[in-house]
Every structure is written in structure tokens, then in C-alpha cells.
């Protein structure tokens, strides 16, 4: 038996064949991005990798290799004891590191010597990243998109969730980005992923969809927070997406915003700091008035004013400029954005597309 190499392109369609995907890189490398579902089995931790790399460049490559070999052997022994002893003979691992070199090769060699059918990614994570970037240029064009449009607070994200519950194919770009997409959209305690990790998540979501069925998505900007939506995807959505315009009364929109942004209403000063980002667009007097509303606890009044004076005009201009299908959009008017109304709306949309639902 010998370790088998698999190309990064092949990996994109074969991940399900492997019982465990093992990332042999350091924790910091793994945190930046990794293959979907991969487990981190670092053969060098962050400090060790930095120290060995410094010795390699500044002292001696030979001495660095000796030091690195001792560290790697010790760490692999720990992984074997802690993670491998209970694995059955049929277990099939896929191992990778940065470029498919010594770190993954050494770990894979040990697993192969035990008798496991072990594979490594030829070119490692670097080749996988290149394959994902390439795939994101073509993959979005395989699908037809139903774009849920609607002003801030209309319940677009909740409608997507209701659609997913009913069995629809849903691409929730904001959930993948850990951001609601507006100047106030940062999620408390949940930092955004890196751009590389976001690209991987978008690719992975798309790769599991059936091209014969529509993909429901929200009418996003080119960026969600600090992250860029893949260019081919946003172009496909804007040029060829079928738009559905979700409309709910302003009072319902305010109620939804009060729920979604409760963390900001509990910390008015944090809300004021975020509103400062709008000074350039709206002026100090307007933003100062919003500060006063926040500090006085008049959040319903504040959110209504934000909607009418800031978000709605910007959204309308952006949609009219960017989404070709908006002129022919189906209008979906709801009395509220409560779960029952959204569930009914989701079932109605799916029925029109003749899609099966999972509802009982």
C-alpha cells in the first residue's frame, strides 16, 4: 500500500469519498481557511512553525530540518495515540498541508504504514484554493436564481430561512458572511470569516445544489460587511435573476429591526458609534439627532427614521441600477413578517416553481 495523490480539482467533487479530511497545517493557517469539514491535526503549532522557519532562513536549513523532524515526529505520535487508535481498517483519510509537502507527506506516511488507504492533495491547500477560485468563475452560471428583494427590515433573511425549511435550495450569503449587510450589520460575538473562508463556504454551498432547481438568494450588494461576493455570482444574480419584491408595512419592519438589533438597543453608545459611519452621507446634524434618539431610548422612532431617510433611498437606487429583473418583479405583499406569514409565502413561492416541499 502507498499514499495516493489526488489533484485539487478532483477533490472538489470527491470530498464525500473520504471519512476524514485532515489539515496538517498550524492552527493559524487552519483558522484562515480550510477544506469544508476538515479537522485540524497540526504537526507543528504556530510558534513551532515560526521558529523552524526562522532557523531555516537565518541559521541552517539542515539544522532546521533536524529540529522540525523531532517536533513533527513527537506531534504525530500524539495524534496517533489520541485520534487513530479507534479507527477501523476501512477508514479513508485525506491529508493536506500548505503545498502538499513534508507536513502532510509525513503524517500520511505514518497513516499509510499502519494500513489505512491514505490520500494527499497534490499541491496542498494552495492548489485547493486555486481550484476554488477557478470554480467560482463558472459554477454560479449553472444555476437560475430567484432573488428576494425588499427594503431593510422586510424579512428577506427570514423568508430565506422559511424557504429552506420547506425544502428549497437557499444560498444565504449573509449567514455565510456572519453579517447582516448594513452599516449596523455586524453580529455580536461573531467576527466575519476571512475572504478565503467565505469563498470556500460559497463554493461549497453552490457545489451541493441541483442545477435543475432554482436557488433562492437575497438581493445583496457586492460586499457583505467586509467580504466580497464572488464576482461571477453577483453578476449572474443581477443580470439573470428572477426578482421577487417582498413588501411589508413600515410598522412591521420596525418591529423586526427591534428584534434583530436588540443587542444595539441594549448598548446605545455602541449604536451611536456605529451611526457615526453615516456622518459623511447624512451630515452631523442628522446623525446627531439619531444619537439623541438612541440615548433617549426612542429606538422605534430611530429605526423608522433610519429606514426612511437612509436605507430606503439607497436600497431603491441600488436595486434599480443593478438588478435587471426588478422591473418585472413579482410583488409579494405580506401583512407582517411573522413566522406564519413567511411560511405561507415560502410555500406559495415553491408551489409556483413546482418544487417539492418537506412540510408535513
CA separation for the pair 11, 94 (Å, rounded)? 9
Residue that is last in its domain, among 134, 153, 182: 134
Domain total for the chain?
2
Q: What is the pLDDT of residues 296-307, one digit of tens each?
A: 999 999 999 999
Task: Decide if 360 is inside a domain.
Answer: no
Q: What is the mean pLDDT of the chain?
A: 94
- In this structure, what C-alpha cell is assigned to residue 170? 437557499
Task: Decide if 317 is inside a domain.
Answer: yes
- Catalytic sites, residue numbers: 97
Q: In the prediction, which pLDDT does 152 show?
A: 93
Q: In the prediction, which pLDDT does 56 show?
A: 84
Given pLDDT bands bounded at 50, 70 and 90, which one contains residue 354?
low
Residues 335, 309, single domain; the answer is: yes
Q: Tell me: pLDDT of 358 over 50.
A: no
Instruction: Show the CA angle centred on residue 30, arms to residues 25 and 36, nearest 5°.
Output: 115
Q: Tell me: pLDDT of 161 over 60.
A: yes
What is the CATH number for 90?
Answer: 3.40.250.10
Task: Decide if 19 is inside a domain.
Answer: yes
Q: Tell me: pLDDT of 316 over 50.
A: yes
- Name which residue leads in pLDDT, 140 or 67: 140
Residues 74, 97, single domain; the answer is: yes
Task: Decide if 359 is inside a domain.
Answer: no
Helices 61-79 & 46-58 angle (0-180, nearest 10) = 160
Average pLDDT over residues 250-263: 95
Given pLDDT bands bounded at 50, 70 and 90, which one contains residue 63?
confident
Q: Which domain holds residue 31?
A: 4-134
Residues 214, 336, single domain; the answer is: yes
Residues 177, 126, single domain; the answer is: no
Residues 66, 199, single domain; the answer is: no
Least trusted range by pLDDT, from 47-56, 73-82, 149-158, 312-321: 47-56
Given pLDDT bands bounded at 50, 70 and 90, which one contains residue 91?
very high
Q: In the prediction, which pLDDT does 357 show?
A: 40
Residues 329, 223, single domain; the answer is: yes
Residue that is last in its domain, among 134, 157, 188: 134
Name the burial class of residue 171, with classes exposed (0-12), middle (13-18) and buried (19+) by CB atoms within 10 angstroms of its CB: buried
Task: Decide if 260 is inside a domain.
Answer: yes
Residue that is last in its domain, among 94, 116, 134: 134
Q: In the prediction, which pLDDT does 68 show?
A: 87
Residues 347, 296, single domain; the answer is: yes
Q: In the prediction, which pLDDT does 359 show?
A: 40
Name the burial class of residue 139, with classes exposed (0-12), middle (13-18) and buried (19+) by CB atoms within 10 angstroms of its CB: buried
Task: Decide if 103 is inside a domain.
Answer: yes
Rounded to whole angstroms, what are the CA distances from 322 to 199, 237, 272? 22, 10, 31
Q: In the prediction, which pLDDT does 59 show?
A: 87
Task: Decide if 358 is inside a domain.
Answer: no
Residues 209, 334, single domain; the answer is: yes
Ramachandran class of 225: left when φ > 0, alpha when ψ lies in -120 to 50, beta otherwise: left
Exposed e or buried b per residue across 102-130, where buried means at least 16 C-beta atoms within 10 angstroms of its C-beta:
bbbbbbbbbbbeeebbbbbbbbbbebbbe
What is the CATH number for 248?
Answer: 3.40.50
CA separation for the pair 94, 260 (Å, rounded)? 40
Residues 153, 125, single domain; the answer is: no
Q: In the prediction, which pLDDT does 27 show?
A: 97
Residues 254, 187, single domain; the answer is: yes
Task: State the DSSP string of 18-76.
Answer: -SEEEE-S-HHHHHH---TT-EE--SS-HHHHHHHHHHHHHT-HHHHHHHHHHHHHHHH
What are the strands, taking DSSP E only, across 226-357?
227-228, 242-247, 330-333
Residues 88, 124, single domain; the answer is: yes
Residues 118, 219, single domain; the answer is: no
Q: In the prediction, which pLDDT does 353 show?
A: 64
- Name which residue leads in pLDDT, 183 or 242: 242
Task: Decide if 357 is inside a domain.
Answer: no
Amino acid at each position: 500500500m502507498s499514499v495516493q495523490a489526488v489533484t485539487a480539482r478532483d477533490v472538489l467533487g470527491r470530498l464525500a469519498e473520504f471519512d476524514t479530511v485532515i489539515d496538517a497545517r498550524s492552527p493559524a493557517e487552519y483558522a484562515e481557511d480550510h477544506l469544508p469539514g476538515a479537522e485540524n491535526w497540526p504537526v507543528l503549532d504556530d510558534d513551532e512553525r515560526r521558529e523552524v522557519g526562522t532557523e531555516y532562513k537565518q541559521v541552517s536549513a539542515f539544522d532546521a530540518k533536524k529540529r522540525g523532524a523531532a517536533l513533527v515526529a513527537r506531534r504525530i505520535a500524539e495524534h496517533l495515540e489520541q485520534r487513530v487508535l479507534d479507527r477501523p481498517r476501512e477508514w479513508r483519510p485525506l491529508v493536506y498541508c500548505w503545498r502538499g509537502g513534508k507536513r502532510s507527506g509525513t503524517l500520511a506516511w505514518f497513516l499509510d504504514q499502519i494500513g489505512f488507504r491514505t490520500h494527499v492533495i497534490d499541491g496542498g491547500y494552495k492548489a485547493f484554493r486555486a481550484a476554488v477560485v477557478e470554480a467560482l468563475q463558472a459554477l454560479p452560471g449553472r444555476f437560475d436564481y430567484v432573488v428576494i428583494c425588499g427594503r431593510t427590515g422586510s424579512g428577506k433573511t427570514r423568508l430565506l430561512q422559511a424557504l429552506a425549511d420547506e425544502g428549497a435550495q437557499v444560498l444565504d450569503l449573509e449567514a455565510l458572511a456572519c453579517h447582516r449587510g448594513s452599516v449596523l450589520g455586524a453580529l455580536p460575538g461573531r467576527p466575519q470569516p476571512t475572504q478565503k473562508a467565505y469563498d470556500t463556504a460559497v463554493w461549497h454551498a453552490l457545489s451541493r445544489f441541483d442545477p435543475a432547481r432554482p436557488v433562492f438568494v437575497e438581493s445583496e450588494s457586492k460586499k457583505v460587511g467586509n467580504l466580497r461576493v464572488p464576482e461571477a455570482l453577483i453578476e449572474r444574480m443581477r443580470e439573470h435573476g428572477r426578482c421577487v419584491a417582498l413588501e411589508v408595512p413600515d410598522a412591521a419592519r420596525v418591529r423586526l429591526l427591534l428584534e434583530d438589533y436588540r443587542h444595539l438597543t441594549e448598548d446605545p453608545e455602541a449604536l451611536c458609534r456605529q451611526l457615526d459611519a453615516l456622518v459623511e452621507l447624512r451630515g452631523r446634524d442628522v446623525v446627531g439627532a439619531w444619537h439623541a434618539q438612541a440615548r433617549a431610548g426612542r429606538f422605534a422612532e430611530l429605526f423608522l427614521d433610519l429606514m426612511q431617510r437612509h436605507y430606503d433611498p439607497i436600497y431603491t437606487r441600488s436595486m434599480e441600477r443593478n438588478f435587471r429583473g426588478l422591473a418585472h418583479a413579482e410583488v409579494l405583499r405580506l401583512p407582517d413578517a411573522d413566522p406564519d406569514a413567511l411560511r405561507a409565502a415560502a410555500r406559495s413561492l415553491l408551489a409556483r416553481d413546482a418544487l417539492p416541499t418537506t412540510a408535513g
